[in-house]
């Protein structure tokens, strides 16, 4: 196999929702009160919903931008790649990046759709359903075989959430984005029986619980004055907390077919984690009364958890200590951790470095994603048209140059102060509803 | 080299302080108000200081006990190995475990000596000094060459803390136990200039800042009803938060000779962490204005951080991705993670598994500890008497059998409820002063 022969199905990318996404999807009585994209005098666009204002952070829609322009300041839609919010442009960008398919997490509603929680349950439910309808029928369905559909949860009600999972599964959805720690959001924890109806629905419909880093709504900073690099370094690995919380829970014992994806969590730390979990079991299971029916925690992990990485050379080398059937790859377009459009080059270099055989490459780059997410792009696209090389040939002439910043040119010192404000809110527990 | 030829200097073990530790070490006016060990009607012993009661948890002095008896319930001194609190018995236990030397962290005052913080600064300082005097002059000095001395900090005052570091360095102390996150304890963070006098004193005296897992006083639990195994699994790796916080801080830039030990943090996760830090630097340093003078974060890490492990097979295999000069070993006697007295057997098995050459073994088992902690046991003990085999021969006939529990026999269900109470306090931020 050569680099251009790889088939890339990415399990973690992001959509910047377009302004018209609710049009025609809400009962008339809710239209005026729905979230709306507001163009501000300074040229930036923000989503507004009741008291909440959600800027489009420049780290979240950064594809194609030079590093000097990274930062947390808000942007206008006219400053970011149209591929962030326009489905046709997205496909062109995917082609240029050699990506056959993607799974797109939400942006302004938050990973767990928490923004839509209001005191009016009917309204909230209408927003969740409208969002999911837009995502499935509009965003994903426009290009069959190019997207693993994923819906947002009814985060405040496990019964309604279960019903929404079933409604979406009926039209081919097998992924639910969720919170890595509902307890931090003021909801019952993973250990509470409150969620049982949801676990049952996920198992029944073969739907994966996809928990993205940062999806508790709390960013991880040791102190309010920690440099931003601390948060950026720690964020993927912080998903280990959710992994441990679920691995040891009675949830996996009561719902043995439940499957969980640790989205953007990286993989290089996993072998250490599995060794530690097995040793914890050996030493402590007697008094903690843990019983996996004769299995070790590392075996349970491989039965239930899907991992993924963007760039993680060590993890590629340790793939068999992680579980070759448990690893997927992600592009993270259009976020700052993404190497789009050169992602295949870096990925291939790591495969070469570790002499990874073709069978392992195929599992990591697309077969595991297909299996775990019940996704088959090849009913729509021929395999020979699905490779990095074929897709890039199809994208020839597509403009991948930078779109210039036109508003809010901000100096580094001010960017750091913006981060500091966010860190303060995070430590104080007053982060916004996302 | 054979197993019995190893020389073991452990950099993380624990002393259960004996009841008479303050005798003759405090000004008369403070004697009646000092912490005291109280024997309770139920047979357990607790330290009492003002409003705080600190039980001697059964997980913290567990050496020699069968797994069925692990738990969080308090114990009496007459139930634990005398080696926990009696220096002569400790040496016999060290010999039986093949340990040449140890570094002993405090127990009842907390890793950062926070218990001694009172509204009477003179009294608090007297307690810190008395503790350190006891540790250096009594506990460590009784057997020269067998202990790396380590003192506790004046945690509320950086100037006084610096003075205490200098006072102890003058008598050969080169290790200071400290908090992994002073901000969580209500103190200024690592990033605050408040601590500059301490950093200066540490550098001047070649003293290592030894930060033990759990030393922020807050245990890591995702939710109050998370099983105890979650906390046990996560606790070592949680030190990554402090590692990142200090790695990216201006502290290491302003004090390029400062050295930090990540005590009980394990090592298997470190290569992933270093890759992630280097990538964070590559992608974000422009806007975060990080500058290491042309070096990468991973290089900075190896200049400043010492790691250690108890049992960490993968980490031994990855020793060169961590830094062969940055790894030490620990026994963790008498805590539940310790394999005492069979620790050498497990360690040797991992060295064999990875075909570790003698030079690497020697660095990991004693040479790195000697260098980083300015510790030379061989001025007191001949090398041929310092090996696992020689020490065990010296311990022949020493009783390593179990000391039976005589009080508070507690059923697993009740043990779990005790853990739940601790978790609730941790999540609510109302943990005791330790």
Say if the Cβ atoms of B67 and A237 lie within 8 Å. no
Cβ–Cβ below 8 Å for A67 and B290: no
Q: Kindly list the distances between the CA atom of residue B423 and the CA atoms of A44, A248, B232, in Å, as whole numbers in the listed order.
A: 44, 15, 12
Specify the range with the lowest mean pLDDT, choosing from A221-230, B1-10, B172-181.
A221-230
Query: What average pLDDT does range A238-267 have in this prediction?
Result: 97
How far apart are the C-alpha atoms of B93 and B62, rounded to whole Å? 13
Cβ–Cβ contact B334 with A under 8 A: no
Looking at beta carbons, which residues of chain B come within 8 Å of A191? 223, 225-227
CA angle B403, B408, B411 (to 5 degrees): 100
CA-to-CA distance for B282 and A35, rounded, in angstroms? 36
* In chain B, where the domains are located: 3-33+100-396
Which CATH number applies to A3-33+100-396? Answer: 3.20.20.140
Interface of B with A in 225-284 (CB under 8 A): 225-230, 232-234, 236-237, 240-242, 244-245, 247-249, 266, 268-269, 271-273, 275-277, 279-281, 283-284
Contacting residues for A407 by C-beta, under 8 A, at least 6 apart: A42, A43, A44, A75, A76, A79
**Region B124-128: what's the mean pLDDT?**
98
Task: Say yes or no for a CB contact (<8 Å) between A268 and B276.
Answer: yes
A 282-321 residues inside an 8 A Cβ radius of B: 283-290, 311-315, 318, 321
Q: How far apart are CA A67 and CA B30, in angstroms?
A: 60
Which residue of A181, A211, A222, A423 to mutate against B (max B Cβ within 10 Å)?
A222
Lookup result for tokens 């600064």: B121
Contacts of B280 in chain A (CB under 8 A): 229, 232-233
- CB-based contacts of B316, cutoff 8 Å, min separation 6: B267, B309, B350, B351, B353, B354, B356, B364
| B408 pLDDT tier (thresholds 50, 70, 90) | low
Instruction: Give the one of A191, A268, A286 whose C-beta lies nearest to B67's C-beta.
Output: A286
Instruction: Tell me which of A135 and B45 has the higher pLDDT.
Output: A135
Q: Assess: ipTM above 0.90.
A: yes
Mean pLDDT of B54-75: 75
Distance between A222 CA and the closest CA of chain B, angstroms: 7
Q: Provide the 10 A C-beta neighbour count for residue A163.
A: 16
pLDDT digits (tens, 9 = 90+) for A287-315: 899 999 999 999 999 999 999 999 999 99
Please state which of the ranges A341-345, A420-424, B365-369 shows the lowest mean pLDDT.
A420-424
pLDDT at A409: 63
Of the candidates A248, A242, A154, A149, the one whose C-alpha atom is nearest the C-alpha of residue A201 is A154
* B416–chain A nearest CA distance, Å: 7
Minimum CA–CA partner of A284 in chain B? B67
- For residue A199, the distance in angstroms to the closest alpha carbon of chain B comes to 17
Give B-chain residues touching A232 at CB under 8 angstroms.
280, 284
User: Which residue would you say has higher pLDDT here, B218 or B301?
Assistant: B301
What does the alpha-carbon distance between residue B199 and residue B190 come to, in Å, rounded to a whole number? 10
List the single residue in B237, B277, B283 with the smallest CB-CB distance to A240: B237
Disruptive mutation site among A71, A245, A346 for chain B (greatest number of B CBs within 10 Å): A245
Burial status of residue A197 (CB atoms within 10 A of its CB: 0-12, 13-18, 19 or more): middle
Contact check, Cβ <8 Å, B290/A229: yes
Does pLDDT of A406 surpass 70? Answer: no
pLDDT value of residue B423:
76
Distance between A13 CA and the closest CA of chain B, angstroms = 18
Q: Is the pLDDT of residue A59 over 90?
A: no
Opening angle at CA A242, ends A237 and A244, nearest 5 = 95
CA distances from A216 to A161, A212, B258 (A): 17, 9, 35
**pLDDT score of B73 more than 90:** no
Measure Cα distances from B418 to B28, B406, B423 in Å: 38, 19, 9
Find out whether B14 and B335 touch, Cβ atoms under 8 Å: yes
Task: Please judge whether A68 and B287 are an interchain contact, meaning their C-beta atoms are less than 8 angstroms apart.
Answer: yes
Give the pLDDT confidence score for residue A433 in this predicted structure.
Answer: 38
The chain-wide mean pLDDT, for chain A, equals: 93
Q: How confident is the model at residue A408 (pLDDT cuts 50, 70, 90)?
A: low
List Cβ neighbours of A307 (8 Å cut-off, separation of 6 or more).
A261, A262, A265, A266, A267, A270, A322, A326, A327, A328
Size of interface A-B (CB pairs under 8 A): 216
Judged by CB atoms closer than 8 Å, whether chains meet at A273 and B229 is answered as: no
Each residue of A95-122: pLDDT tens digit? 999 999 999 999 999 999 999 999 999 9
CA distance B414 to chain A (A): 10
| B286:A68 CB<8 A | yes
- Are A265 and A239 in contact by the 8 Å Cβ rule? The answer is yes
Can you give the pLDDT at residue B434?
Answer: 43
Q: Which two tokens stand for residue A17?
A: 């929702």
Q: Least CB-CB distance to A222: which of B68, B223, B241?
A: B241
Determine what percent of chain A is predicted with pLDDT higher than 70.
Answer: 95
Look-up: residue for tokens 């990468």?
B296
User: Cβ(A319)–Cβ(A353) under 8 Å?
Assistant: no
What pLDDT is stored for residue B70 in this prediction? 77
Q: Would you place residue A58 in the very low, low, confident or very high pLDDT band (cuts 50, 70, 90)?
A: low
The average confidence (pLDDT) of chain B is 93
Among candidates A248, A272, A337 on the partner chain, residue whose Cβ is nearest the Cβ of B269: A272
Percent of all residues in chain A with a pLDDT value above 90, rounded to a whole number: 80
Q: What is the mean pLDDT of residues B80-95?
A: 95
Nearest CA to B18 among B138, B178, B153? Answer: B138
Tell me if B283 and A336 make a contact (CB, 8 A cut-off).
yes
Considering chain B, what percentage of its residues have pLDDT values greater than 90? 80
The answer to whether A280 contacts B224, with C-beta atoms less than 8 Å apart, is no
When CB atoms are compared, the residue of B67, B245, B279 closest to A283 is: B67
Given this model, what pLDDT does residue A404 score? 67
Q: How does pLDDT run across A114-151, given as a tens digit for each residue?
A: 999 999 999 999 999 999 999 999 999 999 999 999 99
Quote the pLDDT of residue A336.
83
Give the pLDDT of residue A432. 43
pLDDT above 80 (res B271): yes
Q: Which residues pair with B212 in a beta bridge?
A: B263
Interface of B with A in 102-121 (CB under 8 A): none
Is A434 a residue whose pLDDT tops 90?
A: no
Distance in Å, alpha carbon of A271 to nearest chain B alpha carbon: 7
Q: Which of A264, A239, A353, A279 is nearest to B268 (CA)?
A: A279
Locate A398 and state its tokens: 């597509």
What was the pLDDT predicted at A413?
A: 78
Model pTM above 0.90: yes
Mean pLDDT of B414-422: 79
Write down the pLDDT at residue B69: 75
């Amino acid at each position: 196999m050569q680099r251009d022969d790889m088939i890339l199905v990415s399990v973690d990318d992001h959509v910047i929702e377009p302004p018209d996404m609710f049009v025609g999807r809400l009962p008339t009585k809710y239209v005026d009160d729905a979230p709306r994209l507001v163009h501000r005098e300074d040229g930036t666009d923000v989503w507004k919903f009741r008291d909440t204002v959600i800027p489009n952070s420049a780290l979240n829609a950064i594809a194609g931008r030079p590093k000097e322009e990274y930062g947390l300041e808000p942007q206008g839609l006219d400053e970011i790649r149209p591929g962030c919010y326009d489905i046709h442009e997205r496909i062109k960008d995917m082609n240029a990046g050699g990506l056959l398919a993607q799974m797109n997490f939400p942006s302004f509603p938050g990973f767990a759709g928490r923004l839509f929680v209001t005191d009016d349950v009917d309204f909230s439910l209408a927003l969740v359903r409208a969002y999911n309808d837009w995502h499935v029928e509009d965003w994903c369905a426009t290009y069959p075989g190019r997207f693993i559909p994923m819906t947002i949860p009814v985060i405040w009600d496990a019964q309604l959430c279960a019903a929404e999972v079933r409604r979406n599964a009926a039209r081919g959805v097998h992924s639910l984005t969720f919170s890595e720690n509902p307890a931090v959001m003021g909801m019952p924890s993973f250990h509470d029986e409150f969620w049982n109806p949801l676990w049952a629905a996920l198992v029944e419909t073969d739907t994966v619980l996809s928990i993205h880093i940062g999806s508790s709504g709390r960013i991880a900073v040791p102190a309010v004055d920690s440099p931003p690099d601390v948060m950026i370094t720690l964020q993927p690995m912080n998903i280990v907390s959710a992994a441990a919380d679920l691995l040891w829970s009675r949830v996996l014992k009561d719902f043995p077919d439940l499957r969980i994806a640790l989205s953007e969590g990286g993989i290089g730390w996993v072998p250490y984690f599995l060794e530690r979990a097995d040793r914890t079991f050996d030493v402590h299971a007697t008094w903690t009364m843990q019983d996996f029916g004769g299995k070790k925690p590392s075996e349970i992990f491989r039965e239930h958890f899907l991992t993924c990485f963007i760039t993680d050379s060590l993890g590629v080398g340790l793939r068999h200590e992680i579980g070759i059937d448990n690893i997927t790859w992600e592009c993270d377009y259009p976020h700052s951790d993404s190497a789009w459009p050169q992602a295949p080059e870096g990925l291939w270099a790591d495969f070469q470095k570790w002499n990874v055989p073709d069978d392992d490459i195929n599992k990591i780059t697309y077969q595991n994603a297909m299996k775990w997410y019940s996704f088959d792009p090849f009913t729509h696209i021929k395999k020979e048209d699905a490779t990095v090389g074929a897709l890039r040939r199809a994208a020839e002439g597509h403009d991948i140059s930078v779109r210039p910043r036109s508003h809010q040119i901000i100096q580094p010192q001010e960017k750091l102060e913006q981060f500091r404000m966010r860190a303060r809110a995070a430590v104080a527990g007053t982060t916004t509803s996302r």
